[in-house]
């Protein structure tokens, strides 16, 4: 019988390393038939200063990094790493840097329905592969619908302020707890792991959390 384990993943859908981390976690879990994982997605704002409607990507990059030059090498490296994880990064197609409050709201609702893994993957792929605008409520609703959620309800909920304050408080709590970067994983509320680590490192953290849970 598989041993149950909870995995809290603190993440933001505009973080490319979070996308890599998700894929590496999935590869790890696919090889660990001895455990049954419950993944709980926790919100984090990589940049909470981005306006709710988003801003042009070029303006965001210029304001934050002084230009695109500093990111070129990083994006090239990430493209290679992503390919190894089955991700086809297309950073050049991203036109809007979004505020991710609404994306996190959709993920929270998907968690309630047990559909978060698919919806999170849709959001990552929409942004990093297809260059979609995650500040657009219709884009978010469509991502949720492809994950099995009701698109009419998503549209109505996104048009409201439902759970906006809850997501803000959850993201603030993550930062207040000392999490300064994502992805950040917590296994069985006992073992923490920062960064998009390789599968063997994730597997080791799983083993440590299981040992801690049994007093081993």
Question: What is the per-residue pLDDT across 95-129, written as a single tens digit (0 to 9) for each?
Answer: 999 999 999 999 999 999 999 999 999 999 999 99
Q: Which of 61-75, 84-98, 195-209 has the lowest mean pLDDT?
A: 61-75
pTM, to two decimals: 0.96
Tokens representing residue 148 in the block: 């099995």
Q: Are 50 and 64 in contact (CB under 8 A)?
A: no
Percent of the chain scored above 70 by pLDDT? 100
What's the pLDDT score for residue 147? 98
pLDDT 10s digits, 186-213: 999 999 999 999 999 999 999 999 999 8
| DSSP code, position 186 | E
In degrees rounded to 5, what are phi and psi of residue 79? -65, -40
| Sign of torsion over alpha carbons 41, 190, 194, 182 | positive
Q: What's the burial of 144, exposed, middle or buried (CB within 10 Å: 0-12/13-18/19+)?
A: buried
């Amino acid at each position: 019988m598989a041993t149950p384990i909870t995995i809290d993943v603190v993440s933001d859908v505009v973080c490319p390393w979070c996308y890599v981390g998700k894929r590496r976690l999935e590869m790890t879990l696919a090889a660990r038939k001895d455990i049954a994982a419950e993944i709980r997605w926790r919100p984090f704002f990589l940049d909470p200063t981005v306006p709710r409607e988003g801003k042009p990507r070029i303006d965001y990059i210029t304001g934050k990094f002084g230009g695109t030059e500093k990111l070129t090498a990083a994006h090239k490296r990430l493209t290679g790493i992503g390919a190894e994880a089955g991700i086809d990064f297309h950073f050049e197609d991203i036109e809007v840097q979004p505020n991710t409050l609404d994306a996190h709201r959709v993920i929270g609702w998907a968690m309630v329905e047990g559909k978060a893994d698919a919806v999170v993957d849709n959001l990552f792929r929409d942004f990093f592969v297809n260059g979609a605008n995650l500040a657009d409520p219709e884009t978010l609703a469509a991502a949720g619908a492809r994950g099995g959620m009701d698109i009419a309800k998503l549209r109505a909920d996104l048009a409201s302020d439902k759970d906006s304050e809850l997501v803000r408080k959850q993201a603030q709590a993550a930062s207040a707890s000392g999490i300064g970067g994502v992805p950040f994983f917590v296994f069985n509320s006992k073992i923490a792991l920062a960064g998009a680590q390789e599968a063997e490192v994730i597997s080791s953290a799983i083993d440590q959390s299981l040992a801690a849970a049994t007093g081993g």
